[in-house]
């Protein structure tokens, strides 16, 4: 490219007498990346070793100049504005942190452009009315009032803030410079830069190298700049007639993708092809961050690392997940799902072996799923002390870290210090210290606390969380330790940069240029009246940056999604003008002719691959994998569907127990079982007790069992009332049972029966009774209707529960006891219980003998509607 060479020759020609020492010159660059190619061009043009000029960016130069007073951070100013907005109540329930940030940006812009508002709020309102060209109304008066009051309040503050400091920095540096200054740029200077250069010109020579002006000297670039500035097809046709016939843009190609995934695949394939060609400096200029995420994932899958100059906001990083998770835990009073998510973070308890945290997460999940405790750290600790002592230290550590409550109101600095202390108490600090992004996050927390140490605005937990969320969104992490030939960047960062190849992704009309007036307080008419830059300035800067990119680079591919959700999605108007001009000049439409073909060849092929045996095949089980124990419910699963049994009890793919956040019928059944066990232990024979005493005793025991649930959940009252209505009916049923000769013997008793030498049947019997002859009747309480229980027993051997219990106890009688509705009844099989037990035993022995010999376990398809394994066997899809 001729541009750096042209600059080098100009500098050398004007300072030949000073060679080889050019240290007396200063070159102001658009970015640090321009320093190396300019240095190289100077060395080549001189032909001798040089002492190079001072090459710097404006931001770097200003940081080296000391200021006479401290600078008030923008964070402090936003907090001050927030307090004013909250106290005034102007915006109701709006996001005040967002409003405060937007207003601060407006106030700074007014300061930067030296806008002076009228002294009177009424005069300012009239100015806005004229600018809006509308009748004066309440909304306009409100806007004038807010901006006017806040602008005057903030500008009467004598302390220096960022914009004041920037303006004073520029004055100081302009006064210090006493040697020639050279400036490289691609677009119009900002107001601050113009003032700085005007001040410099009063004392020294200033030479500006504007890429747009330099391109006009070269015919191959002059038309490019003209076409980007064209506003109509007629202009393009006129320009095309002045050009030689042929392809005028050999360095630019376009690719219209059919959706996001194809655009990302095209980018991935093109980048990898460039790498294979030996290109070592590839820029991916991102217009659409969603596409960029997918491209990055595809490249990393291909083991191509990416250097991201733009970075990612902290709110999207893994290091922030446990931070936000901890605040969720505090806000929701240790809600179990928040605690579980936190325990699964690898940053938590990073000062201890990872296995400890993983084991704690496993134990906690098992505990809450088993017992249904959904919140409150004290409840979790109490339960762990009783059921899982290994888990208690982790829970105690969480409790100890919760030093700040959600009902407090504290200054931001205190919230930040408390968060910092909690992070280290939880081991998050140790984890962050070992991670590049985590290290930056720790630095940010400290910096924020330092900046806000003098701010006393007291905030609620919710206000503090919204502030923190805004900060995590506003700050960006860039991992510059990565070395890669592929770098993601943005258009403004490409100024005066040359790459081996450039890929522009997301180049549709929505993203290039970006939407106008985003976050701006006034429309263009008002901004022009006040002397602020209008939206066209932003568009022109994007256009100039695009021109600079195309002028500086020989290989550029721009992609966009030509269709989105079935609708046409237009190409960027800038690129559309270039394509149209190229066609009018007799060239191609710039569409890449090969990339679509490469995509089909680059995709991973699976047609010739050897696929595993389909999951719908009937699995057989090696004898050593067969479970040595089976429960009545496992036997029921085997009868219902052998494949279901295989998935549940051989592969152990059982669904995890759902944590019941509200009381349901399962809780009700558990309480009823416990009540009846305690009641019959206290009054084993109702015929010996008065009806009043029996009912009072059962009522008392019921309330004792329900007591904890009543304290924690108001809905427990409804379940208790439901049971209390059934108490008289149950007592009548029990008396009938005793009148028939049966006597309560035991409840909740474990059972174990040897099926054969390799299999044991285990379970727990709700209750069994005996009679005077020693006969046994096993009973199983069910909070189901009599109708549904009869359906269970309609087909002999279909439900094996009663048969298994009878087998274990050698019982002659067995029945379900229906505790549903307003009636209690016994539901017994029609078949003789001893015969039913014997047949079920024989079948169980036979089936396990067959499985040991390799007989496969098919999916019957009879229980698919409610089987959790249907996604595994996929019988319905076969």
DSSP annotation string for 707-758: HHHHHH-TTHHHHHHHHHHHHHHHHHHHHHHHHTT-EEEEEEEEEEEEEETT
What is the structure's pLDDT at 711? 84
What is the structure's pLDDT at 121? 75
Rg of the chain in Å (alpha carbons): 39
Q: Is the pTM of the predicted complex or chain greater than 0.85?
A: no
Q: 506 is written with which tokens? A: 């997301």
Mean pLDDT computed over 624-653? 89
Mean pLDDT computed over 497-513? 94
What is the structure's pLDDT at 708? 83
Among 232-241, 438-447, 602-611, 821-830, name the most confident range.
438-447
Statement: residue 656 has pLDDT above 70: no
How many Cβ atoms are within 10 Å of 13's Cβ, its own excluded?
A: 9
Identify the band that residue 375 occupies on the pLDDT scale cut at 50, 70 and 90. Answer: confident
What is the structure's pLDDT at 231? 57
What is the structure's pLDDT at 245? 54
Query: Using an 8 Å Cβ cutoff, are 44 and 8 in contact?
Result: yes
What is the structure's pLDDT at 605? 47
Q: Tell me: the pLDDT tens digits for 713-756?
A: 788 899 899 999 999 999 999 999 999 999 999 999 999 999 99
For residue 199, whether the previous peptide bond is cis, meaning omega lies within 30 degrees of 0, is no
51: phi then psi, degrees, rounded to nearest 5: -95, 110
Q: Tell me: the pLDDT tens digits for 668-688?
A: 888 999 999 999 999 999 998
Statement: residue 105 has pLDDT above 60: yes
Q: Any residues with CB less than 8 A from the CB of 380 and at least 6 apart, and which?
A: 334, 336, 339, 364, 367, 368, 373, 395
Q: What one-character DSSP code corresponds to residue 252?
A: E
Q: Tell me: the pLDDT tens digits for 43-56?
A: 999 999 999 999 99
What is the structure's pLDDT at 604? 47
Report, in this order, helix, strand and coil percent for the chain, each rounded to 5: 55, 15, 30
Statement: residue 150 has pLDDT above 90: no
Statement: residue 574 has pLDDT above 80: yes
Query: Using an 8 Å Cβ cutoff, are 363 and 391 in contact?
Result: yes
What is the structure's pLDDT at 445? 94
Tokens 């089936």 belong to 847
What is the structure's pLDDT at 516? 63
CA distances from 119 to 46, 116, 141, 343 (A): 59, 9, 15, 58
What is the structure's pLDDT at 70? 78
Q: Which helix (H) or strand (E) holds 409?
A: strand 409-411
Query: Using an 8 Å Cβ cutoff, are 461 and 408 in contact?
Result: yes
What is the structure's pLDDT at 606? 42
**CA 705, CA 174: separation in Å to the nearest integer?**
83
Statement: residue 603 has pLDDT above 90: no
For strand 759-770 and strand 743-756, is the pairing parallel, antiparallel, or unpaired? antiparallel
What is the structure's pLDDT at 835? 93
% of the chain surpassing 90 pLDDT: 56
Query: Using an 8 Å Cβ cutoff, are 77 and 50 in contact?
Result: no
Statement: residue 803 has pLDDT above 90: yes
- Per the prediction, the chain carries an average pLDDT of 87
**CA 691, CA 727: separation in Å to the nearest integer?**
11
What is the structure's pLDDT at 240? 58
Q: Tell me: the pLDDT tens digits for 297-350?
A: 999 998 999 999 988 899 999 999 999 999 999 999 999 999 999 999 999 999
**CA 154, CA 147: separation in Å to the nearest integer?**
10
Q: Is 785 exposed, middle or buried (0-12, 13-18, 19+ CB in 10 A)?
A: middle
Least confident segment among 519-528, 655-664, 841-850: 655-664
Statement: residue 381 has pLDDT above 80: yes
Statement: residue 285 has pLDDT above 50: yes
Q: Which helix (H) or strand (E) holds 823?
A: strand 823-827
555: phi then psi, degrees, rounded to nearest 5: -130, 110
Statement: residue 613 has pLDDT above 50: no
What is the structure's pLDDT at 608? 46
Q: What is the largest CA-CA distance in the chain?
A: 127
Mean pLDDT computed over 508-520? 74
Least confident segment among 31-40, 131-140, 586-595, 863-872: 131-140
Statement: residue 523 has pLDDT above 80: no
Query: Using an 8 Å Cβ cutoff, are 478 and 529 in contact?
Result: no
Mean pLDDT computed over 652-666? 71
Q: Any residues with CB less than 8 A from the CB of 421 and at least 6 apart, and which?
A: 401, 403
Mean pLDDT computed over 280-290? 95
**Position with higher pLDDT, 247 vs 654:** 654
Q: Which of 752, 756, 759, 750 is nearest to 627 (CA)?
A: 759
**CA 367, CA 362: separation in Å to the nearest integer?**
9
CA distances from 275 to 438, 458, 604 (A): 32, 55, 19
Mean pLDDT computed over 831-853? 93
What is the structure's pLDDT at 51? 94
Q: Tell me: the pLDDT tens digits for 424-441?
A: 999 999 999 999 999 999
Statement: residue 220 has pLDDT above 70: no
Long-range CB contact pairs, 61-64, < 8 A, 24+: 61/28, 61/173, 62/166, 62/169, 62/170, 62/173
Least confident segment among 213-227, 337-351, 368-382: 213-227
**CA 846, CA 852: separation in Å to the nearest integer?**
10
% of the chain surpassing 70 pLDDT: 91
What is the structure's pLDDT at 715? 83
Statement: residue 691 has pLDDT above 80: yes
Query: Using an 8 Å Cβ cutoff, are 424 and 430 in contact?
Result: yes
Query: Using an 8 Å Cβ cutoff, are 529 and 127 in contact?
Result: yes
Statement: residue 564 has pLDDT above 90: no
Statement: residue 200 has pLDDT above 80: yes
For residue 513, whether the previous peptide bond is cis, meaning omega lies within 30 degrees of 0, is yes
3-state DSSP of 179-205: CCEEEEECCCCCHHHHHHHHHHHCCCC
Mean pLDDT computed over 205-213? 92
Beta bridge partners of 476: 313
User: What 3-state class would DSSP assign to 799?
Assistant: coil
């Amino acid at each position: 490219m001729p541009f750096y060479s042209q600059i080098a020759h100009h500098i050398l020609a004007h300072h030949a007498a000073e060679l080889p020492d050019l240290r007396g010159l200063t070159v102001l660059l658009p970015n640090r990346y321009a320093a190396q190619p300019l240095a190289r061009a100077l060395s080549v043009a001189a032909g001798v070793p040089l002492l190079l000029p001072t090459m710097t960016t404006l931001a770097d130069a200003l940081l080296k100049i000391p200021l006479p007073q401290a600078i008030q951070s923008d964070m402090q100013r936003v907090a001050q504005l927030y307090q004013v907005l909250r106290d005034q109540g102007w915006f109701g329930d709006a996001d005040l942190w967002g409003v405060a940030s937007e207003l601060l940006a407006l106030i700074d812009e007014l300061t930067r452009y030296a806008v002076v508002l009228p002294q009177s709020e009424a005069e300012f309102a009239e100015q806005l009315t004229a600018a809006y060209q509308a009748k004066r109304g309440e909304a306009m008066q409100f806007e004038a009032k807010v901006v006017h009051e806040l602008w005057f309040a903030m500008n009467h503050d004598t302390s220096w803030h960022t914009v004041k400091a920037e303006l004073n920095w520029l004055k100081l540096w302009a006064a210090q410079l006493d040697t020639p200054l050279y400036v490289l740029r691609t677009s119009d200077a900002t107001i601050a830069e113009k003032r700085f250069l005007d001040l410099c010109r009063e004392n020294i020579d200033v030479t500006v190298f504007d890429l747009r002006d330099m391109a006009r000297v070269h015919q191959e670039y002059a038309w490019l700049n003209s076409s980007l500035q064209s506003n109509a097809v007629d202009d393009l046709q006129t320009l095309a007639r002045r050009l030689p016939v042929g392809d005028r843009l050999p360095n630019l190609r376009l690719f219209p993708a059919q959706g996001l995934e194809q655009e990302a695949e095209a980018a991935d394939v093109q980048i990898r092809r460039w790498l294979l060609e030996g290109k070592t400096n590839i820029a991916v200029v991102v217009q659409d961050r969603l596409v960029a995420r997918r491209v990055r994932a595809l490249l990393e899958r291909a083991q191509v690392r990416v250097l991201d100059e733009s970075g990612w906001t902290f709110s999207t990083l893994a290091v922030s997940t446990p931070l936000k998770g901890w605040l969720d835990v505090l806000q929701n009073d240790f809600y179990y799902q928040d605690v579980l998510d936190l325990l699964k973070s690898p940053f938590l308890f990073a000062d201890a072996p990872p296995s400890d945290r993983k084991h704690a997460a496993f134990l906690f999940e098992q505990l809450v799923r088993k017992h249904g405790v959904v919140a409150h750290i004290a409840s979790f600790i109490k339960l762990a002390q009783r059921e899982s002592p290994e888990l208690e230290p982790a829970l105690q550590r969480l409790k100890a870290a919760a030093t700040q409550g959600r009902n407090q109101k504290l200054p931001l600095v205190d919230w930040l210090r408390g968060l910092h202390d909690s992070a280290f108490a939880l081991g998050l600090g140790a984890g962050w210290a070992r991670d590049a992004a985590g290290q930056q996050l720790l630095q940010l927390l400290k910096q924020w606390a330092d900046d806000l140490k003098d701010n006393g605005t007291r905030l609620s937990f919710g206000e503090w969380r919204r502030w923190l969320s805004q900060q995590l969104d506003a700050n960006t992490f860039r991992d510059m330790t990565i070395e890669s030939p592929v770098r993601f960047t943005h258009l403004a960062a490409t100024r005066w940069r040359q790459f081996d190849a450039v890929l522009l992704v997301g180049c549709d009309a929505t993203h290039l240029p970006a939407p106008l007036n985003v976050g701006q307080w006034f429309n263009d008419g008002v901004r022009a009246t006040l002397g602020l830059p209008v939206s066209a300035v932003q568009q022109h800067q994007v256009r100039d940056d695009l021109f600079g990119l195309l002028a500086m680079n020989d290989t550029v591919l721009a992609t966009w999604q030509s269709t989105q959700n079935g609708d046409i999605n237009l190409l960027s108007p800038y690129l559309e003008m270039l394509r149209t001009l190229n066609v009018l000049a007799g060239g191609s439409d710039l569409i890449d002719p090969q990339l679509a073909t490469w995509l089909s060849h680059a995709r991973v092929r699976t047609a010739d691959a050897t696929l595993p045996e389909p999951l719908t095949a009937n699995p057989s089980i090696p004898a050593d994998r067969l479970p040595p124990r089976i429960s009545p419910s496992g036997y029921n699963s085997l009868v219902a569907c052998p494949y279901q049994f295989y998935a549940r009890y051989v592969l152990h793919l059982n669904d995890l127990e759902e944590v019941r956040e509200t009381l349901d019928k399962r809780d009700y059944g558990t309480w009823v079982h416990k009540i009846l066990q305690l009641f019959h232990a206290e009054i084993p024979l109702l015929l010996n007790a008065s009806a009043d005493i029996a009912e009072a005793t059962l009522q008392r025991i019921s309330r004792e069992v329900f007591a904890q649930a009543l304290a924690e959940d108001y809905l427990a009252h409804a379940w208790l009332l439901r049971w209390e209505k059934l108490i008289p009916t149950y007592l009548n049923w029990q008396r009938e049972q005793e009148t028939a000769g049966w006597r309560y013997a035991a409840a909740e008793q474990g059972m174990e029966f040897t099926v054969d030498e390799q299999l044991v049947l285990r379970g727990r019997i709700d209750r069994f009774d005996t009679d005077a002859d020693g006969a046994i009747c096993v009973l199983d309480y069910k909070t189901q209707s009599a109708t549904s229980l009869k359906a269970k027993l309609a087909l002999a051997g279909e439900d094996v529960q009663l048969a298994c219990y009878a087998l274990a106890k050698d019982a002659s009688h067995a029945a379900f006891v229906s505790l549903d509705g307003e009636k209690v009844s016994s539901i017994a099989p029609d078949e003789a219980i001893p015969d039913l037990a014997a047949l079920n035993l024989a079948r169980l022995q036979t089936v396990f003998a067959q499985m040991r010999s390799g007989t496969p376990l098919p999916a019957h398809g009879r229980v698919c509607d409610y089987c959790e394994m249907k996604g595994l066997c996929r019988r319905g899809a076969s």
